[in-house]
Amino acid sequence: MKVKVLSYVAAIITILFSTSVFAAAPIKIGALFAVTGPAAFLGEPERNSAKMVIDEINKAGGVKGRKLELVAYDTTGDATKAVQLATKLIKDDKVVAIIGPSTTGETMAVIPVAEKEQIPLISCSAGSKITDPVKKWVFKTAQNDALAVGKIYEYLQKTKQTTVSILTVSDGFGASGREQLKSQAARYGITIVSDDTYGPKDTDMTAQLTKIRGSHSQAIICWGTNPGPAVVAKNARQLGIKTPLFMSHGVSSKKFIELAGEAAEGVRLPSGKVLVCDVLPNSESQKKSLMLFVKDYQKHYKSEGDHFGGHAWDAVMLLKNAIEHGADTPAAIRDQLEKTKNFCGIGGTFTYSPQDHAGLGKDAFVLVEIKNKDWVIVK
């Protein structure tokens, strides 16, 4: 009898104990961001945003009573390191999903690991080839370059401009943009009359712009990330070039306006909606998420939230939604992610499907113009 009672007590204690352990065990989410190194401008806001949103989810009691735990590593923008750290996240930290990496090169290197180990990967980089063709375990939150290019070309077609000069930076971002600019031109009836590049560390582009001026194109499209495009804008102003200047979404942050100063006036670029969230109409479905993100980021880091941080915010929120739907194993999370419909995030409205792991449409971008040191939506 005594033994029986004791065994009951033991059983009850075990159950209590195990459930309490179960409830307390956080769900581990891995993250790979290039916090230092050449891609730090991506990795730093991404890590900050991911940390911020996970802290907030936990403060509000976690997801279905379980806390989330972020295990974030710095890849320094190095693909080899990213692969090692991805393996570490999966084997040692036993994460259920990985957010990142920040650059396309790193993501392409990490994809085989995620596929082999069957862990969902939500990349924060933009390259189209990440989800084209679709890989079972790989999703992404950053807008495709193709969408940004399409946005500019659409506008040019509408305003009947048919000849453009392109000036792209000679790194991964610029090369991918250049490819898209060239391959989509014919579809919009546009001819590229001059095709130039500049180095990521170049400090003077007057030579390229002088050549472009000689080509008499109707528009100039520059594809790069800061600080190059700011130099291009300044040089164009110096040379007195009146041709409309278009930039990529790579410079859609206040930093560009600050760097280019007066020369930024009149520059047009496709941008995620986060930049212009306060001038968006209230009917916009993304507005709530956007305002929340921007205000939060401002509060925590005393700087403006940008769309790079937004990619990480989206990734965490997508995971949160999947976990809310009862998924807590890698396989279940993957299946839930694929069922995501009309999720209003920072980058756009996401709808994943077995055929589409990028999830965004052309409405992810708006074309903005810089006027009086601020953004104005181009109608």
Partner 1 sequence: MQFDQILQYTLSGLSTGAIYALIGIGFSIIYNATGIINFAQGEFVMLGGLLTLSCLDLLKLPLWAAIPCAVAVSTVVGILFERLAIRPLRHPTPINLVIITIGGSILIRGLAMLVWGKDTHTIPAFSGDAPIAIGGATILPQHIWILAITLIIIMVNKVYFYHTISGKAMRACSYNRRAAGLVGIDVKRMVLFSFIISSAMGSIAGIIVAPLTMTAYDVGVMLGLKGFCAAIIGGMSSGISTVIGGLILGVLESLGAGLISSGYKDAIAFIILLLILFIRPQGLFGKADSERV
Q: Which residues bind partner 1 (CB under 8 A)?
A: 36, 40-41, 44, 170, 196-199, 201-208, 210-211, 214, 226-227, 230-231, 234, 237-240, 255, 258-259, 261-263
Q: Compute the C-alpha angle 185/190/196, nearest 5°.
A: 70
Work out the number of other CB atoms within 10 angstroms of the CB of residue 288: 12
**CB of 322: closest distance to partner 1 in angstroms?**
33
**CB of 296: closest distance to partner 1 in angstroms?**
21
- 252 in Cβ contact with 275 (< 8 Å): yes
Instruction: Using the minimum distance from each CB to partner 1, give the nearer residue, 88 or 255.
Output: 255
Instruction: Using the minimum distance from each CB to partner 1, give the nearer residue, 198 or 365.
Output: 198
**CB of 170: closest distance to partner 1 in angstroms?**
6
Instruction: Using the minimum distance from each CB to partner 1, give the nearer residue, 58 or 163.
Output: 163
Burial zone of 68 (CB within 10 Å; 0-12 exposed, 13-18 middle, 19+ buried): buried
- How far apart CA 77 and CA 88 sit, in angstroms, is 17
Instruction: Using the minimum distance from each CB to partner 1, give the nearer residue, 237 or 249.
Output: 237
**CB of 373: closest distance to partner 1 in angstroms?**
14
Burial zone of 19 (CB within 10 Å; 0-12 exposed, 13-18 middle, 19+ buried): exposed
Instruction: Using the minimum distance from each CB to partner 1, give the nearer residue, 26 or 227.
Output: 227
- Cα distances (Å, whole numbers) of residue 237 to 205, 206, 230, 231, 316: 12, 10, 11, 10, 42
**CB of 216: closest distance to partner 1 in angstroms?**
10
Best CA proximity match to 249, nearest among 279, 272, 280, 219: 272
